[in-house]
Structure 1
Amino acid sequence: MTSTTTRAYPVPIDEQDRLRSLADFGIIGAPPLPDLPSVVELAAYICGVPNAVVNIISADQQHQMAAYGFEAGVCAREDSMCAISIVEPETVVVPDATLDARFARNPFVTGEIDDVRFYASAHLRDRDGHVLGSLCVFDQQPHHLTPQQREGLDKLARMVMDVMDLHRHGQLLESALDKVQRTTRELQRSNASLQHFAGQVSHDLKNPLTGVLGFVALLADTDAVMADPTAKRCIDRALSSATRMWRMIEDVLSHASLGGRPSFAPVDLGAVVHQVVDDVSAAISAAQATVDVGPLPMAYGDATQLRVLVQNMVSNSLKFRDRGRDCHIAITGTETPDGWTIAIADNGVGIPAEDRPRVLEMFTRLRTDVEGSGIGLATCQRIVEAHEATLVIDETPGGGTTMRITLPRP
């Protein structure tokens, strides 16, 4: 590796990337890595010298992460012999440092810090080739390495990097586990808040709804209503809708108590769709729309959530109808070996292809002239995801939007 000398020691050309990699390992300032002392002891034994050390070179210091034959410490990078050897292309072996121009005036050689004569340094190289430091062996007497000893030093240097990699992965795992624990605590807190909120809202809604049900039931039994078929039909519809609303409130409360998880069971899609059409009949009449419901299969899912999904989609079709022609909505269903598909097709203004992914996002409104919050289709998307289903938005032949929801078999 080539280098440029900008201070009293050579600096690798990849210095900034090297320092970023070193920071990722998180070993400087951390507790000693427990496996390194055995590695440096083995390095000293294999090379037949009294001293061995793992040196990590930071921006301005040499950190001795594990040492054999002396106490590990920290020194200035400009005093380090390994700060010089990390820019060399391969393992450095110096029989007598006093005779090597690179090291002869180094304080570890001159006696200012030590009297090193023999010195060998194998690179600690990360997976991207950045040299973070070295596995170094040295002696106060001149020395030589056999080819086998040099090969052993190189292998031990790779082992040091394996230990450092293991430490880094352990840190990443610990960080991930901490994040999971924090997320779990937040979910538990959110679920508790959801249960409290759902319970309060259910209580607040059920009290007036109880009164409505009571008054409607009393009205249904009056002679005037019994004698007027139209009035009786309207009262019966109001009673049916209010009863379904009561059940939906109970279902929402139960859904919240389960932490927001769907409650899966066999669902009659035909019954769900007919209930929705009945509930939004006033809006259908106001839009002078027609809704055709074809045969729909039994499926598997959460009946409450699927009712909300269909109601949101039908309401969307009514809101975004084409004012230049009569509004028509067709609801059909099919069954396949893989699951069940329900299609809701209208002849409204349609959704441009480039906007179809965006309409499923929270608070997205393509038309500001139409009343809405931008929540309906985002809610549908969440219900689809909770069922591990798929939602496809297509254009209806002749103009309009077709929504296809495919529910998988369990």
Structure 2
Amino acid sequence: MTSTTRQRTYPVPADEQERLRSLATYGIVGGPPLPDLPAVVELAAYVCGVPNAVVNIISASRQHQLAAYGFDAGVCDREDSMCAIAMVEPGTVVVRDATLDPRFAHSPFVTGEIDHVRFYASAQLRDRDGHTLGTLCVFDGTPHDLTPPQRAGLDKLARMVMDVMELHRHGRLLEQALDQVHRTSKELQRSNASLQHFAGQVSHDLKNPLTGVLGFVAMLSDVPAVEHDPVAKRCVDKALSSATRMWRMIEDVLSLASVGGRPSFTDVPLDTVAHQVVEDIGTAVAAARATVEIEPLPTVHGDVTQLRVLLQNLLSNAVKFRDPGRPCHIRLTGAETPTGWTVHVADNGIGIPPEDRPRVTEMLTRLRPDIEGSGIGLATCRRIIEAHDAALVIDGTPGGGTTVRVTLPKPPERINLELLA
């Protein structure tokens, strides 16, 4: 005894793969019933004056009846489906007597194997890209026609079916997006907890030796020889001031980590912060024989710790990437605008080629491996800029060098108050 395989007698659209991918996004095959469709198919039967109407969706190998009027919805093989044939036609199909139409005469829905359909009409269900997902179909056991208004009504109801399906698809996408947000939120909570633990451990490890440094410097300041030596006294005072600022910065970093990395906004006098930064990196500035010119800088709205780190990275880079052929000169300028503040850090160093400027703020990017560095400084600057909804632009300095422009926005409420003043 030999087995026979049924021949595939249904036509396959040229866009079959794209059509199936589109169908998958709706999540309607095998999913829960769409509550609005039964009313639409009942209205289709009424408009067309027939006892039966159905929404048929054609998958890769099946016809799925999502909603039916006049009979119970079910599933059949695609090769048995009349709608699998109608869906590749150029438009709405209306057949007075299917037994006389060569496209459908041998269908089991016509021959009596499944049903005895005579009148058959279907309007295609097309997605927004033109892929046909199925049909809104009406049929009867006796031959007859559709009037032009009935045909127009069937087409309009098919578009209504697609509206229902689109609404379901968007709702499904929204659920997926909300689920992703929920999972991302949980991951952020876990990440923030890890960050807080890490920051606490690092702060502890840094504060222990720093406590010793502060203690020894404080003791040193009380030594009579230091008290009577102006140079030694000045050096000890600077060391004590820098170590104290480092202590506060560690505390600020720990505080920042404990609130999940959110900046704490306040009014920040950049002029004061810039002078503190120059003092902190004074050893590097002196070693490079650099001059740092700080013009009056504005008071801005931001996180004082992050802005200090921002200026420290920009100034340190200016010193590090100096031009060995000429004295290093760095100039800080700033100004207030109606919507925010701008700060420029300009140097006369070796500069950054224009083609490399877009990528120097990426993590671990090092354009000059021969110069000591980690490739983290400008990436940190970018994160600070993003946290402040600010902008950072890297350009060249006339005559050679690099100019970094930072633009910090004013809070909307402050802009509104200034406009009313």
The interval holding the TM-score normalised by the smaller chain is over 0.9
Give distance in 1, aligned partners of 2:207 and 2:249: 11
Stretch moving more, 234-243 or 397-406:
397-406
Match of 2:163 in 1: 162
Alignment RMSD: 1.5
The amino acid that maps onto 1:139 is: D
Query: 1:22-65, CA deviations, whole angstroms, 9 ceiling, x for partnerless residues?
Result: 22222112112111112112212222222111111122221111
After the TM superposition, which segments of 4 or more aligned residues of structure 1 sit over 6 Å from their partners?
none
Match of 2:211 in 1: 210
Matched, 1:409 2:410: yes
Q: How does 1:244-283 map to 2 (within 5 A)?
A: 244-283=245-284
Partner SS for 2:366: coil
Query: 1:259-301, CA deviations, whole angstroms, 9 ceiling, x for partnerless residues?
Result: 1111111111111011111111111111121212222222221
Shift of 1:168: 0.8
Match of 1:386 in 2: 387
Give distance in 1, aligned partners of 2:364 and 2:342: 27
Stretch moving more, 303-312 or 23-32:
23-32
Match of 1:349 in 2: 350
Match of 1:3 in 2: none
The amino acid that maps onto 1:97 is: A
Partner SS for 1:10: coil
The amino acid that maps onto 2:29 is: I
Match of 1:397 in 2: 398
Q: How does 1:47-66 map to 2 (within 5 A)?
A: 47-66=48-67
Partner SS for 1:12: coil
The amino acid that maps onto 1:217 is: A
Equivalent residue pairs, number: 405
Match of 1:133 in 2: 134
Q: How does 1:10-409 map to 2 (within 5 A)?
A: 10-409=11-410
Shift of 1:166: 0.8
Give distance in 1, aligned partners of 2:185 and 2:408: 28
Give distance in 2, aligned partners of 1:300 and 1:17: 51
Stretch moving more, 149-158 or 362-371:
149-158
Give distance in 2, aligned partners of 1:293 and 1:97: 90
The amino acid that maps onto 2:28 is: I
Partner SS for 2:296: coil
The amino acid that maps onto 2:67 is: A
Shift of 1:15: 2.4
Shift of 1:252: 1.0
Partner SS for 1:231: helix
Give distance in 2, aligned partners of 1:258 and 1:394: 34
Give distance in 1, aligned partners of 2:398 and 2:93: 76
Partner SS for 2:115: coil
The amino acid that maps onto 1:373 is: S
Shift of 1:236: 0.6
Give distance in 2, aligned partners of 1:136 and 1:338: 60
Stretch moving more, 295-304 or 16-25:
16-25
Shift of 1:327: 1.3
Give distance in 1, aligned partners of 2:292 and 2:409: 26
Give distance in 2, aligned partners of 1:334 and 1:104: 83
Shift of 1:74: 1.3
Give distance in 2, aligned partners of 1:341 and 1:47: 70
Query: 1:313-353, CA deviations, whole angstroms, 9 ceiling, x for partnerless residues?
Result: 11111111111111111122222222222211111100011
Partner SS for 1:123: strand
Give distance in 1, aligned partners of 2:361 and 2:271: 25
Query: 1:72-109, CA deviations, whole angstroms, 9 ceiling, x for partnerless residues?
Result: 11111111111111122222122221122221121111
Give distance in 1, aligned partners of 2:345 and 2:33: 64
Partner SS for 1:354: helix
Give distance in 2, aligned partners of 1:192 and 1:358: 30
Query: 1:111-159, CA deviations, whole angstroms, 9 ceiling, x for partnerless residues?
Result: 1111111111111121222221111111122233222222221111111
Match of 2:3 in 1: none
Partner SS for 2:53: strand
Stretch moving more, 59-68 or 358-367:
59-68
Give distance in 2, aligned partners of 1:336 and 1:91: 63
Stretch moving more, 206-215 or 143-152:
143-152
Identify unmatched segments of 5+ residues in structure 1: 1-5
Give distance in 2, aligned partners of 1:257 and 1:137: 64
The amino acid that maps onto 1:105 is: H
The amino acid that maps onto 2:136 is: L
The amino acid that maps onto 2:31 is: A
Query: 1:339-385, CA deviations, whole angstroms, 9 ceiling, x for partnerless residues?
Result: 22221111110001111111011111100101111100011111111
The amino acid that maps onto 1:191 is: N
The amino acid that maps onto 2:156 is: K
The amino acid that maps onto 2:22 is: S
Shift of 1:254: 1.5
Partner SS for 2:12: strand
Give distance in 2, aligned partners of 1:368 and 1:99: 82
The amino acid that maps onto 1:323 is: P
Give distance in 1, aligned partners of 2:394 and 2:376: 17
Give distance in 2, aligned partners of 1:283 and 1:104: 91
Stretch moving more, 65-74 or 362-371:
65-74
Give distance in 2, aligned partners of 1:202 and 1:13: 64
